Structure 1
């Protein structure tokens, strides 16, 4: 239900905007800056540095480059600092200044990777792809869904269905990102791209139609935040209550409070961080820890406990430290070079390091591989209908199983072996 609600909330505005786009024949690949179609007022809520490609006449109330201004101003080509509290008015058809480091014209923005800005766009693209593709399987609120499947075949079908549904969902944010460049380019001044999806319906449809679409988007966003945060909260609280505390219901409640307080306190320090950046960092941490463990644990018999721990610790430290640097002490992309890129998009480094650490430490501790690892792998990979896992069920519930049931299960196992 949550999925279809969120899909409707993001797909319906995207389809409406697509029809509007096709009807008006807009172009996004010309080497021209983004422009506003109507007279637009932009409120600057945080200090920002913007770049101007050509002389631009604007009306300003506030501070530009540290000087108080009230009235028309001609912005010269180059960079300008807009202070918090400044109001900027752009005439209809005016080019829009963009945040320093962002692509200044539509053609460069549409080129692969240039939407990130900076000097190493393709590294950023592939690092983000690596984080999102591999990080999905390592998210705890995704992994917990497998506990609701009765057998391995159903779990595999669930995985396939989820991949298809998620892939369909993520087609629409891509469309909305393109339309945001066209229809709400004023956000390029402030860098507050998080507001794009909410502002898009009203920028195209006036009156109740735009307001209803914006309300639908807002409801979908709230549903997404609540479903994701509640799933993570339950996962973390479950681990804390069973592995750290004594596993009682009261312990789970205490763990839930603790698991909620820590991220709540951290969230106060990331109010100026784009949601797109923070989500990418979260996926990078998941891709650098649980993803290597799952892949090697399922498909490589040589993985040891020490290797698994070493890879998770190394991958978690590298990606986690990068995320903390971005949140607490961000590096200016224009001045940071490779350090800023590696910190902002760490998955291309942290994921291979995690895999490498798991493999090397496991090879160094290969004597600790359990003797029955082949039997364990057979249980995981042999089709369920052969009954290879029946003895495991008997071992878990044998105390309450009758002798006749044990005999029947043993006969099935022997027949499957033959």
Structure 2
């Protein structure tokens, strides 16, 4: 807030390396521990099992799907029956486990598949839709994250600190490589979590694997230190994204909303940029982080992506077309997000379409933008060909043409 946009750029650059270190160093130690454990790579081809006796507390009602009879010690309610530390042999099929029940699994037991119970208004239906239509859910999330990134404010404003186009393009390529290296790590943690912390799939806390694995695989002070490093990297990620977004939104509020553009009004814009998301987070605090990120990217992909792509590459784009496309694509994705957060319609095909809207909302944004622009050809801004030429000509040639 004190140093401005350039300061935030350096802050995010520093925090990237902090986050990479926080995941890479523990990841290397965990892989070495896995190698010293015999590197049972064949375990990835087999059903997940508990390596040792494990007590699992189920906080929310779940349905466990068991493929073979399973003996488990139960403290709580299973299929409507109360048990007080007694061993129960569950036949193959689906069994309802009430919230607050503790299950003790013996070492070597297969980890049952879990689906949320009907009492949960949001995540159960979302989980069921993902399981019923995994291909649609996967491609919906991929499209949203791929296309939504270009519309994120804290990403777009980074180009304000590039001195010229060559530097901006080099930075883009370099950052894509750095991000690609960073995203090699989550599959490593996911694979190790499946082996050493499989009960997280039952409790719905799979994202806690990165914090639990150091203690599970290494233990002692070393595990605690690596876990602390991972936690520090997580907080660096939170602060990096939050600071960049705060600066970007505060700049927009100061430039386009508030009557003056002084430092005092920028500080007021910063307060507003933090207050509104804070209130929204109170309303949707139960939404899983991964789902919330996917939904936000879907809105960005459906609104800013068509605008940026057509605005840079299509000279017939008009202001009415741009506005209509952003409203149609982004608005439909936003309504889908709102319906998903409200738990509507609950399940089935319609819920899957609303839970991962990018596959249809992005085409809606592009199509609306194109059709409205073609219907308003007289609204193409004057000088559009010259502006697009400046976009695409090399810097050296553009300088000569200007002279």
- Same fold, judged at TM 0.5 (above): yes
Unaligned 5+ runs, structure 2: 1-13, 117-126
Q: Contact 2:74 / 2:84 at 8 angstroms: preserved in 1?
A: yes
Task: Name the structure 2 match of 1:394.
Answer: none
Q: Does 1:266 align with 2:291?
A: no
Match of 1:218 among 231, 238, 242: 231
Who wins on radius of gyration, i.e. which is larger?
1
Counterpart in the other structure of 2:215: 202
* Partner residue of 2:205 out of 170, 192, 202: 192
Moved more, 185-194 or 42-51: 42-51
- Indicate conservation of the 8 Å contact 1:269/1:328, yes or no: no
CA distance in structure 1 between the aligned counterparts of 2:302 and 2:278, rounded to whole angstroms: 23
Q: Partner residue of 1:155?
A: 168
Which stretch has the larger CA shift, 18-27 or 175-184?
Answer: 18-27
The match for 2:196 is 183
Out of 69, 73, 76, the residue aligned to residue 55 of structure 1 is 69
Which residues of 2 match residues 398-409 of structure 1 at below 5 A? none
Deviates more, 1:86-95 or 1:352-361: 86-95
What pairs up with 1:139-154 in 2 under 5 angstroms? 139-154=152-167
Distance 1:325 1:217 in 2: 34
Distance (whole Å) between structure 1 residues aligned to residue 235 and residue 366 of structure 2? 36
Residue 387 of structure 1 and its aligned partner are, at CA, apart by 4.5
Please say if 1:384 is aligned against 2:395.
yes
Cα separation, 1, equivalents of 2:25 and 2:389: 46
| Cα gap change, 1:125 to 1:37, in 2 (>3 Å) | same
Aligned residues: 377
1:240 aligns with 2:259: no
Match of 2:289 in 1: 275
CA distance in 2, matches of 1:81, 1:220: 37
Instruction: Name which structure has the greater RCO, CA cutoff 8 Å, separation 6+.
Output: 2
Deviates more, 1:39-48 or 1:322-331: 322-331
Cα distance in structure 2, aligned partners of 1:339 and 1:323: 13
How far apart in 1 are the matches of 2:274 and 2:169? Answer: 32
Distance in structure 2 (CA, Å) of the matches to 1:269 and 1:33: 38
Evaluate the alpha carbon distance shift between residue 220 and residue 148 of structure 1 in structure 2; reply closer, same or farther with a 3 A threshold. Answer: same
TM-score between both structures, scaled by the size of structure 1: 0.84
Aligned equivalent of 2:105: 90
What is the alpha-carbon distance in structure 2 between the residues aligned to residue 337 and residue 57 of structure 1? 33
Match of 2:382 in 1: 371
Q: CA RMSD in A?
A: 2.3
Q: Which residue of structure 2 aligns with residue 299 of structure 1?
A: 313
Say whether 1:69 aligns with 2:91: no
Distance across 1 between alignment mates of 2:257 and 2:237: 29
Residue 370 of structure 2 is aligned to residue 356 of structure 1: no
